[in-house]
Amino acid sequence: MSTEHVETSLASQETQVPEENHSTPEILEGEKEMVTVFSDPVNFNVKHPLHSQWTMWYDNPGKKANQASWSQNLKEVITFDTVEDFWGIYNNVVRPSDLSPGSNYHLFKAGIKPMWEDSSNANGGKWVVQLPKKTGEHINTLWLYIMLECIGEGFQYENEVCGGVVSIRKGFYRISLWTRISDDKEICESIGRHLKNTLSLNPNQMIEFQSHADAAKSGSCNKDLYTV
Ligand code: MGP
């Protein structure tokens, strides 16, 4: 475009009042059409797709579980892949603060079982945040934030995140974020820092990362690989 042409079109822009445009915006070649409820202006019932499918699991071992019997208590609740279905589930399951001690909710990418033995977890580990019982109903909000961060795939190293767990125990609550890897300090610590931000934890509060291999060996997690 010549300089003269640019000046002419700028001048004409100054004097022209743009007409309001109520028509559907044109989708340019190569652009992905965004699906919203307005995509069906009659029923307004088009759902917003998530990037991935996610599965909610629940377990309450009741009495103390051992490694052999633990998975028998694991129940697959539901798999979903839209924003609306997530809220439908969230609004209709018992809140973590109302679950009995020993219970866990697990939200994992579909296809990954929330157990050390799954091939996506076998070389991984988890960031663990333990919260006092006085956290009360706030645990429900923290669990919501973790779920939203997972399904929104907001982590920089999203592919390395397998899912999250909220655990209700007699004396405390625990939120864990499971990762696919445990041997890359930089990636694991980045995910840990993101988790701290998501939960708005005090920067001075340290959280710990443990590998599943260590947990499986000792039966309980006691060796911290990283802290942030
Ligand atoms: P937990 O619930 O993760 O630990 O595992 P918590 O809350 O510290 O409970 P505590 O009773 O150890 O104090 C509890 C037990 O469940 C473990 O010691 C294992 O026996 C079993 N378990 C837990 N997970 C996550 C797994 C798993 O992925 N695979 C198998 N085989 N057993 C598991």
Distance 220 CA to ligand 1 centre (A): 7
| Cβ(170) – ligand 1 distance below 6 Å | no
DSSP, residue by residue, 61-72: -SSPP-TTTGGG
Per-residue pLDDT, 12: 40
pLDDT per residue, tens digit, the chain (228 aa), is 444 443 443 344 444 444 444 455 555 565 566 666 677 777 777 788 999 999 999 998 776 678 888 888 999 999 999 999 999 999 999 999 999 999 999 999 999 999 999 999 999 999 999 999 999 999 999 999 999 999 999 999 999 999 999 999 999 999 999 999 999 999 999 999 999 999 999 999 999 999 999 999 875 545 789 999
Atom 25 of ligand 1, nearest CA residue: 115
Index of the ligand 1 atom closest to the CA of residue 64:
11
| Cβ(116) – ligand 1 distance below 6 Å | yes
| Cβ(167) – ligand 1 distance below 6 Å | yes
pTM equals 0.83
